[in-house]
């Protein structure tokens, strides 16, 4: 455990370009802020277009050699990155925690996940070359396909899960033979810059680069660059719209992993204890609701509505269960909102609940003094209480907009058809949870829910062994090795 005073040391991190740690060419930096205290704890490069041009040229120059390596050799490199993770996991997880306020205790599982993704990608590197097909073309023509890398891939990361999104983009793109530029969020870049530095000690120069800077300054430049062949964004719909416009004159392959407003649905025959923990783990405890798959709409069958709400309230007002405080103290269970802009946005939704007169079951307070009374070191931090709001139906702004914080609505329903109707009444389609003991009901729900991911009697179960993507406005494409290849067609005239 590290105490808060030890957090005050300021470190400078650099971009990783062509295997070197470098500052922005004009020397500009921006501050990285610890959201638990609002203190500056590190500086990161504030890169400009000339830095973006430099990183594209580095990735382009490294492409041919990397793409032409035997696939097994690329796999060997990626396996070495996986082997490196345990040695640096503690450092990387601490940086991630300081970056975005995710409590360290919730992060312990991540080191294993990162390592496994690199190993999975290492195996996939050898298999991708065998994914071509031969095609029966009729007499005289022989058709076949082969899988080719795109070229230079730009991976754009959100602030809520930088190390994870960095890994799933870089590992599979590299496995397929692409070279990669990672652009982390300006609000949480430190972990990615350090991670990139460690990886650059293993890979040939220019194969994996990391550049930090504002989305509008270097993001637009990178995605619209003619030498960039594929872009994978994990972020908001607003950024996806900007990227779509920016790439209009130089179209390229896009992966969009966007937001959600996911229903977590409890039927009356569910194991109530299991379901209540599933509702909590679906939104409140992981990263204070700042996860794309947050089960932010709790749909609860009316016959058990009061009982479930009561159990949720009991747990979420228990000071042993919900412990705010130093994010590096593994006894604490909930951290702050990751940055000030997001904090203001989440507080706005809580104000909206009181303005509209909705019943707040628990929570509803924000600010360091309100959430952590008597702990002045956190007074300026971006703290929000986990908050549950009762709403009669799905019509409110709270039920439709992605809040991306620890604020959920509880909506009653009577029938299976009504549950489906409410669940699908959203522009998003990322995830859904179903809690029932009835296998047939579970299958009907899986069939009808408009979501890229459905979990039954569990929630947010993601991993390298399954695809992960959304439908509707939650995006398209998935960070998998095949999605980082072009299937090239060839016909030979053998007449
Ligand atoms: P954001 O869209 O504001 O920023 C994401 C990234 O895009 C940042 O690195 C930012 O600098 C960059 N960016 C901004 N403008 C750009 C531009 N014009 N061109 C190129 N890049 C630009 O998202 P955020 O606030 O960092 O993250 C939260 C959002 O991410 C939520 O909507 C959440 O649901 C979503 N998310 C989705 C998934 C998923 O897998 N579906 C996972 C995590 C987060």
Q: Does ligand 1 have an atom closer than 6 angstroms to the CB of 159?
A: yes
Q: Does ligand 1 have an atom closer than 6 angstroms to the CB of 257?
A: yes
Ligand 1 atom index nearest CA of 187: 26
Q: Which two tokens stand for residue 394?
A: 């799905």
| Residue 5 in this model has a pLDDT that exceeds 90 | no
Report the alpha-carbon distance of residue 161 to residue 180 in Å, rounded.
18
Which protein residue has the closest C-alpha to ligand 1 atom 9? 185
Q: Which of the listed residues 101, 110, 228, 239 should we mutate to test ligand 1's pocket, taking the one with most ligand atoms within 8 A of CB? A: 239
Cα(233) to ligand 1 centroid in Å equals 7
Q: Does ligand 1 have an atom closer than 6 angstroms to the CB of 236?
A: yes
pLDDT tens-digit map of 13-39:
999 999 999 999 999 999 999 999 999
The reported pLDDT for the residue numbered 6 is 46
The reported pLDDT for the residue numbered 466 is 87
Neighbours of 314 (CB within 10 A): 12
Q: Does ligand 1 have an atom closer than 6 angstroms to the CB of 23?
A: no
Report the alpha-carbon distance of residue 191 to residue 194 in Å, rounded.
5
Query: Which of helix, strand or coil describes residue 331?
Result: coil
pLDDT tens-digit map of 31-82:
999 999 999 999 999 999 999 999 999 999 999 999 999 999 999 999 999 9
The reported pLDDT for the residue numbered 270 is 98
CB 178 within 8 A of CB 63: yes
The reported pLDDT for the residue numbered 156 is 98
Active site residues: 257, 292
Q: Which two tokens stand for residue 63?
A: 């492409």
Q: How confident is the model at residue 2 (pLDDT cuts 50, 70, 90)?
A: very low
Q: Which of the listed residues 236, 257, 405, 460 should we mutate to test ligand 1's pocket, taking the one with most ligand atoms within 8 A of CB? A: 236
| Residue 462 in this model has a pLDDT that exceeds 90 | no
**What does the pLDDT average to over 238-259?**
96
CB 377 within 8 A of CB 37: yes
| Residue 119 in this model has a pLDDT that exceeds 90 | yes
pLDDT more than 90, % of the chain: 91
| Residue 152 in this model has a pLDDT that exceeds 50 | yes
Tokens 């209480």 sit at which residue?
385
Cα(126) to ligand 1 centroid in Å equals 31
Which protein residue has the closest C-alpha to ligand 1 atom 26? 158
CB 472 within 8 A of CB 400: no
Q: Which two tokens stand for residue 142?
A: 């022989």
Q: Does ligand 1 have an atom closer than 6 angstroms to the CB of 219?
A: yes
Cα(409) to ligand 1 centroid in Å equals 24
Q: Does ligand 1 have an atom closer than 6 angstroms to the CB of 452?
A: no
The reported pLDDT for the residue numbered 136 is 85
Query: Which of helix, strand or coil describes residue 234?
Result: strand
The reported pLDDT for the residue numbered 9 is 62
Neighbours of 159 (CB within 10 A): 21
Q: Does ligand 1 have an atom closer than 6 angstroms to the CB of 337?
A: no
Which protein residue has the closest C-alpha to ligand 1 atom 21? 219
Q: Does ligand 1 have an atom closer than 6 angstroms to the CB of 160?
A: yes
Spell out the alpha helix ranges (H) of 176-297. 190-200, 220-224, 237-246, 272-283
CB 377 within 8 A of CB 391: no
């Amino acid at each position: 455990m590290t105490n808060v005073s030890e957090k005050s040391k300021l470190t400078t991190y650099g971009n990783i370009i062509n295997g070197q740690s470098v500052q922005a060419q004009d020397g500009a930096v921006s501050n990285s802020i610890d959201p638990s205290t609002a203190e500056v704890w590190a500086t990161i490069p504030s890169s400009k277009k000339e830095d973006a041009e430099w990183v594209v040229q580095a990735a382009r120059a490294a492409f041919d050699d990397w793409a032409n390596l035997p696939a097994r050799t690329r796999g060997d490199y990626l396996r070495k990155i996986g082997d490196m993770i345990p040695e640096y996991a503690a450092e990387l997880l601490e940086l991630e925690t300081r970056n975005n306020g995710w409590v360290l205790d919730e992060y312990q599982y991540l080191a294993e996940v990162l390592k496994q993704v690199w190993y999975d990608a290492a195996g996939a590197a050898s298999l991708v070359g065998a994914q071509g097909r031969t095609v029966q073309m009729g007499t005289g023509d022989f058709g076949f396909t082969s899988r080719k890398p795109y070229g230079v891939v730009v991976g754009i990361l959100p602030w809520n899960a930088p190390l994870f999104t960095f890994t799933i983009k870089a590992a599979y793109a590299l496995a397929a033979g692409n070279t990669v530029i990672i652009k982390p969020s300006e609000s949480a870049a430190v972990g990615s810059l350090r991670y990139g530095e460690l990886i650059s000690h293993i890979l040939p120069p220019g194969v994996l680069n990391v550049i930090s800077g504002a989305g509008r300054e270097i993001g637009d430049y990178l995605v619209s660059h003619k030498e960039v062949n594929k872009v994978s964004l994990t972020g908001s719909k607003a950024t996806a719209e900007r990227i779509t416009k920016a790439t209009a004159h130089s179209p390229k392959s896009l992966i969009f992993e966007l937001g959600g407003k996911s229903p977590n649905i409890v039927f009356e025959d569910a194991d109530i204890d299991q379901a209540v923990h599933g509702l909590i783990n679906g939104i409140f405890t992981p990263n204070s609701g700042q996860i794309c798959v947050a089960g932010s709409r709790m749909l609860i069958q009316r016959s058990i509505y009061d009982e479930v709400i009561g159990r949720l309230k009991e747990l979420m007002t228990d000071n042993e269960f919900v412990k705010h405080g130093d994010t590096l103290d593994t006894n604490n269970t909930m951290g702050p909102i990751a940055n000030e802009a997001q904090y203001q946005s989440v507080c706005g939704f809580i104000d909206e609940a009181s303005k509209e007169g909705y019943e707040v079951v628990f929570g509803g307070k924000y600010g360091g003094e309100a959430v952590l009374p008597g702990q002045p070191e956190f007074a300026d931090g971006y703290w929000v209480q986990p908050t549950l709001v009762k709403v009669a139906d799905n019509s409110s702004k709270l039920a439709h907009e992605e809040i991306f914080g620890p604020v959920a609505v509880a909506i009653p329903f009577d029938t299976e058809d009504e549950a489906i109707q409410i669940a699908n009444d959203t522009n998003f389609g990322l995830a859904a949870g179903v809690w029932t003991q009835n296998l047939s009901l579970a299958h009907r729900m899986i069939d009808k829910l408009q979501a890229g991911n459905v979990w039954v009697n569990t929630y947010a179960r993601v991993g390298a062994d399954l695809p992960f993507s959304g439908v509707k406005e939650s995006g398209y494409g998935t960070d998998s090795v095949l999605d980082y290849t072009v299937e090239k067609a060839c016909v030979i005239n053998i007449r």
